[in-house]
Chains A and B, each alone.
Chain A
Amino acid sequence: MSWTTKSLVLLPLGAVLVVAVGWWWGESPSAQRQDLPTLVIAEHRTARIQVLQQLKPALEAELGVYLKIVEYPAPPQDYFTKLVTELRAGNAPDVFTIPRDLQMDDLAAAGYLANLTDAVEQWPGYQHLPELVKQLTRASFDEQVYVVPSIMAVEQLYYRHDLLTAAGISTAQPQSWQDLLSRSRQIKQQLGQYPLLIPAGLTWGMGSYTEGFRYLLASFSDYQLLNVDNQYVLAGEAVRASFGFYQTLVQQQLMPVKPLLNPEPWVIPKYEMFPKGQLLITTCGSWCKVFDWGPDSRNPIPNVDQAVQTWKFPSADGGEPFALASVVYSWGVNAKSRQQQLAQQLVLALGEVDVALVYAEKLGNVPARLDAAQHPGFAALGSRMEDHALLPQARALRTTVGSNAMMAAVAQASEAVLTGRSDAGQAQQQLIDYVTNVLGDQQVKPQLTVAALPKGGKQHD
C-alpha cells in the first residue's frame, strides 16, 4: 500500500482511538444524585442564570429534587426557537420561562404547555395577583391558566427631567395626545432636538408593537385588540388613528426617523441620543433606568433617578393617562414532562414573592404579586417601588394565537409610514392584509369600517 492509502487507514483509526479513550474519560464523572428526582429547567441570559443558581439550593431543599439548569442561547430569538423546536420534538425541559406574555397563547394552542388552572387557583399566591395579571396568564381561547407569573415590566414614557426643567419646559403629566404633541413641538422649538421616540419599523421587529404601537392602541380606553370571538380587531378607528399619530410625528419631524430604518434601530436613539440629550422623551420600561442608562450600563446618565423621570402615556379619547404592564418571564410547565406534579410545585415555588423579588431586583423589573410590597426585601427595588404601585391600574392588550404575525405586520406597516410610502389609512390596510394573509380570514374581524375610512391626513400617496 502506498503512503497515502496507509494514512487513509491510519488517520481514522487514530481518531477512533482518541474517541474511545475520550468516551471512557468523559462519561465517568457524570454519576449524579440518582436518589433524587431530577427536574430540568431551561434558562438563558447570564443574569437570569445567576439568579437561578443563587435560588437553586433553597428550591432543591424545599421540593426534595435535583434541579438541572440547562443554559440556552442568550439572544431571545434563539432561545425561543430552541424552546419551541424542543417542545415540538418532545425533548424539552420540564420547566422553562416564556419571555413575554403575548407568546403564551401560541404555545398553549400548540399543546406545549401543561394546564395549571387548578394548581394556580388553589395557590395562596393567586389572590395577590392584580386582576390584569390574572387575565394575562389565561389563554384567550379557553380561559385556562398556563403560566405562573413572577415578574412584570411596567412601561411608560421616560423623559429628561433635568433638561426640560433647565429649559423651563413644563414637566407636568401630558393628559392627551394633543398635549403630548404640543409639548413635543415646544421642545423641538426651544431645544432644537428631537422630542419623542415611539418605536416603529421593520428592523425593530416585535418591539415596533410592544414598545411602540401598543401604547398608541391602548390610548383608546374602549379599544381591545381582540373581540369576543378572539379575532384581531384591526379595522377600527383606533388602529387608523395610531398610524396617524406616527404619521404626524414623521411629518412634523418630532421623531428621529433615520436611525429607525437602520439595523439595530434602538442603539442610536436610546443609547446615544437620549443620554446625550438629543432625544428628550421615549417609551421605555422599568428596566431602563438599570440596563439602558443606569450607573453600570454602557451609556450611564448621571444621577439617573432624578434626571430621568416618567410620565404615564396620555390617552387619545379623554380617558386617564395610563401605564402599560406586561408579564415577562412567566414560568410554564412542559405538557410532556414526565413529572407533572413536581414541575407544578416548582413553578409555584418560583412564583413566590421572595423568589420574584430576587429576579425583579437583578433584572430591573417589579414582582407580579401585590403582597410583595409588604416583604422586607421590597425596599431594594428603589424607584421601581412606584412602578409596582401602578400595577392595579395598569393597562394591557390581550392577544391571541398569531401574535407573531400581528407584530410582523405592525412592523411592516409602520415602516411604510416612517418612510412616507403609506399614509395612515394605507398602513392600516397593509396591516389587515398581512394578518389576514398569514392567519386566514377567520382570525381577523371582518372589515366593516375600512371602506368608510376618513381620508388619512394631508399626506400625499
Chain B
Amino acid sequence: MIKLTYESRRQLGYRFMMAPALLLMAAFIVFPAFYAFSLSLTDVALLGFAAQESSFVGLRNFSRLFGDPLFWNSLKVTLIFVIGSAVIGQFVLGFLSALALQRPVRYKPIFNAIICLPNAVPEMVVGFLWISMFASGEYGTLNRFVAWFGVDPQQWLYTFPLLSIIIVNTWRGIAFAMILLTSGLAAIPKDIYEAARVDGATDTQVFWRITVPMMMPTIFLYMFISTVTTFAIFGLVYTLSRGGPANSTEILGIYIYNQSFTAFQLGYGAAVAVVSLVVSMILGIIYVKALKVEV
C-alpha cells in the first residue's frame, strides 16, 4: 500500500519534471506546426485590412499555390539543393575522407580537425566567407584560382547561383558525413576484410562487395539525417543570396520567408509551410517505421 503511493508519487514526479520542457516545445514547435494548418486557410497578413482582422478563405491559398510558378520553382530548387549537396556532394566527399582516414595515414587528427572546421562555423559567417570566395572581378579568390586553369573571371553567385550554394553546403557538411560514415566503417569487423584478402579479393572488390553492403544501414541513416537537415536550411542561403538572383536559389524556407515578410502574406506563407511540414513529416514517419528506432 505504502509502496504503491510511493510509486504513484514518483510517477507524478516524472510528469512534473517533464512539464516545463513539454510546455516550451508545445508552445513554440508543436502548437505552431498545427497552427500553420489553420493559418493557411485564412488571409492573415501584415498589411492591409487583414492585418487587423483576417478572415477564412478556405483553400484559396492552396489553389493559388498550385498555380504559382514560383512555388514550383522553389520546390525544384530545394530538390536540386538537397540532392546536390547532401545526397551527392557531402556524401561522396565525406565517404572519401572517411575511407582515406581508415588507412594508416599520418597527421590524422590534423586532417580530421581541418575537415571538421567548416561544420563549426556559424551560418552567417559561412555566407560571409563564401561571398568573399565568390567575389567577382579578377581579385576574387575563386576567380584567381580558376585563372590558373585559364578560366575567365566569373560572377559566381550570379552566373551559377544554385551550383554555388550547393558547393557551400557541401563544404559545410563534409565533416558530418565523414564522422558518421567513419563510425559505420569502424563497426565493420576487421576479420571479414582479412578473410577477403586471403581469398585474393582486390581493393575494388572489397569495397563493393564488403564495405558498401555492410555500410548500408549507416548510409541510410546518413541520407535521412542529411536530407532532413538540408531541407531545413535557411540562414546559409539567406546570407549568401537571399534566394536570388531571380529566385534561382529560393529554397522552400526562403520562399516561405519571402512570402511572409516581404510580400507580408502570412496566410500564403503558412500554406507553403504546410507543404514543407507535410513533406518532412512523411520523411520522419518513414524513418521511424523503417528503422524501428530504438527508444
Contacts and interface: CB of A to CB of B under 8 A. Distances in A.
A181 interface: no
Interface stretch (B48-56, B81-89, B94-102): B48-56
A202 B60 contact: no
Interface string A398-426: 00011011001000100000000000000
B262 A438 contact: no
A264 B52 CA distance: 35
Contacts of A105: 48
Contacts of A408: 263
Given A203-B246, A263-B158, A408-B263, A440 B48 contact: no
B51 A111 contact: yes
A202 B51 contact: no
Contacts of B245: 203, 262-264
A85 interface: yes
A85 B52 CA distance: 14
A401 B43 CA distance: 13
Interface string B255-276: 0000001111100100000000
A88 interface: yes
A88 B43 contact: no
Secondary structure call for the A interface = helix
B225 interface: no
A81 B261 contact: yes
B124 interface: no
Interface string A362-403: 000000000000000000000000000000000000000110
B244 A263 contact: yes
A290 interface: no
B51 A109 contact: yes
Interface string B50-73: 011000010010011001010000
Contact of A88 (B51, B64, B263): B51
Interface string A105-137: 111011110000000000000000000000000
B43 A440 contact: yes
B46 interface: yes
Contacts of B60: 437, 440
A77 B52 CA distance: 22
Contacts of B46: 84-85, 88, 110
Interface residues of A, number: 29
B51 A404 contact: no
B48 A401 contact: yes
Contacts of B187: none
B288 interface: no
A437 B244 CA distance: 25
Contacts of B45: 110
A110 B262 contact: no
Contacts of A109: 47-49, 51-52
B261 A106 contact: no
B263 A263 contact: no
Contact of A110 (B48, B67, B265): B48
A84 B57 CA distance: 23
A81 B49 CA distance: 17
* Residue from the set A77, A112, A263, A408 with the largest chain B CB neighbour count within 10 Å: A263
Contacts of A402: 48
Contact of B48 (A85, A106, A202, A261): A106
A105 B50 CA distance: 12
Nearest to A408: B263
Contacts of B52: 109-111
A111 B48 CA distance: 8
Contact of A262 (B49, B51, B63, B246): B246
Nearest to B241: A263
A111 B45 CA distance: 12
Contacts of B48: 105-106, 109-110, 401-402
Contacts of A401: 47-49
Nearest to A105: B48
A412 B262 CA distance: 16
Contact of A106 (B47, B158, B244, B262): B47
A344 to B, nearest CB: 22
Contact of B265 (A412, A433, A438): A438
Contact of B262 (A77, A111, A405): A77
10 contacts: A109-B48, A109-B49, A109-B51, A112-B51, A203-B245, A262-B245, A401-B47, A433-B67, A437-B64, A440-B60
Interface of B: 43, 45-49, 51-52, 57, 60, 63-64, 67, 69, 158, 244-248, 261-265, 268
Given A262-B245, A440-B57, 9 more contacts: A85-B46, A106-B48, A263-B246, A263-B248, A264-B245, A401-B49, A405-B263, A437-B60, A438-B268
